Amino acid sequence: GKGLAVFTSGGDSQGMNAAVRSVVRMGIYLGCKVYFIREGYQGMVDGGDNIEEANWSSVSSIIHKGGTIIGSARCMEFIKREGRLKAAYNLVTRGITNLVVIGGDGSLTGANLFREEWSSLLDELLANNKITKDQREKYKYLHIAGMVGSIDNDFCGTDMTIGTDSALHRIIEAIDAIVSTAYSHQRTFIMEVMGRHCGYLAVVTSLASEADFVFIPEAPPSVDWRDKLCDKLEQERKSGQRLNIIIVAEGAIDREGKPITAELVKKVVVDNLQQDTRITVLGHVQRGGSPSAFDRILGCRMGAEAVMALMEATPETEPCVVSLDGNQAVRLPLMECVRRTKAVAQAMADKNWDLAVQLRGRS
Ligand code: F6P
């Protein structure tokens, strides 16, 4: 059977295990020899026990677990050619020429570069007598399929990334808990949520929790935001609301690009309205714990599609990323999605927020 390996890279997210499970089982079902690569690219570079053959039962009882059972890491060695040469050796000597990478845009870009270099890496290994001519010929094509695992939902091309839905559940649960105490004490709560430079988690949770105000990176507020915020909070209180909830995305900024932090918002509220105000920073609570049903199924569907993409690949097939498009698992050109994702970051850096939002839209 064909050699196929799966690994998780970058920050973990809920639902990655469902994806790993699906890749392993679909791979075995289709007759592949399937391997885990532990600790992301680091395990690929180090080889040894990090690359282990998987069987049907090695992925039993993991679908409900958060994080990734095969570990994840940010690897500096893979950034250098020397590291990639070691990785290529570790794959070729095990007959692995199909890779499923589950990670963010950085991890997917690394996989693409690896594929582009594959031929020259094998040439170097052959020249150094590390591999045989037969191996050079037999394993000359490397195929890549990616999936995006991230709570941030910051990748262009997919409606949802694996982990986002679970993070939303976790945040909503926390807000519901806070609302009880806010109501009892007539307090204002400011909640900082993750998302890096993406406001998706903040926007969706603010809608689902009836928050009064939300700050996100993609829509910096007008310069008079302090007045607008205070007017809104005051108006809600006057109309009988006993509490206020404000959501701040961790990457929120003003029109000059300066951070709008939970502390800054608190100071504005306290100085102007003298409201009893508290801050809750949810942190990594959002990224852990049991995956939602949606993320489990998303991981399963994407994993199966990734394996099918690899099995159908021809030497000319470009690396793909499996995406969700209107509840369909589809294959999109990996590098086009990465380029668009990077273009969003550039548009944000250029303070062209309209363009950033437009680029983030559906494919
Ligand atoms: O990308 C996922 C994420 O949780 C972001 O929301 C957050 O900014 C970042 O990772 C935190 O990184 P770390 O786990 O390295 O502290």
ipTM of the complex: 0.98
Catalytic residue among 46, 152, 165, 295, which?
152
How far is the C-alpha of 156 from the C-alpha of 105, rounded, in Å?
9
Pocket of ligand 1 (CB under 6 A): 11, 150-152, 194-196, 250, 287
User: Mapping DSSP to helix (H, G, I), strand (E, B) and coil, where does residue 13 land?
Assistant: coil
Read off the amino acid at residue 331. Answer: R
> Are 140 and 122 spatial neighbours (Cβ–Cβ below 8 Å)?
yes
Using the predicted structure, report yes or no on whether residue 241 has a pLDDT greater than 70: yes
Closest CA to 16 of 6, 26, 30: 6
CA geometry: angle 230, 233, 236, nearest 5 deg: 145
Choose the weakest-confidence range: 152-156, 158-162, 356-360.
356-360
Query: Using one digit for the tens of pLDDT, what is the confidence trace for 175-200?
Result: 999 999 999 999 999 999 999 999 99
From the CB of residue 165, how many other CB atoms can be counted at a distance below 10 Å?
23
Distance 257 CA to ligand 1 centre (A): 20
Query: Using one digit for the tens of pLDDT, what is the confidence trace for 258-298?
Result: 999 999 999 999 999 999 999 999 999 999 999 999 999 99
Closest CA to 201 of 170, 164, 251: 164
Residues making up the binding site = 11, 74-75, 104-107, 150-152, 187, 194-196, 250, 278, 284-287
How far is the C-alpha of 270 from the C-alpha of 230, rounded, in Å?
10
Please report which helix (H) or strand (E) contains residue 320, including its range: strand 320-325
Closest CA to 225 of 187, 194, 258, 196: 258
What's the mean pLDDT in 327-348?
94
From the CB of residue 127, how many other CB atoms can be counted at a distance below 10 Å?
10
Distance 37 CA to ligand 1 centre (A): 22
Distance 42 CA to ligand 1 centre (A): 19
Query: Using one digit for the tens of pLDDT, what is the confidence trace for 112-131?
Result: 999 999 999 999 999 999 99
Percent of the chain with pLDDT over 90: 96
CA geometry: angle 128, 131, 134, nearest 5 deg: 130
- In DSSP notation, 55-120 reads -GGGGTT-TT-SS-TT-----SGGGSHHHHHHHHHHHHTTTEEEEEEEE-HHHHHHHHHHHHHHHH
From the CB of residue 139, how many other CB atoms can be counted at a distance below 10 Å?
20
- Rounded to two decimals, what is the model's pTM? 0.96
Q: Which residues contact 326 (CB under 8 A, 6 or more apart)?
A: 159
What local confidence, expressed as pLDDT, does residue 363 receive?
A: 45
Q: Is 152 a catalytic residue?
A: yes
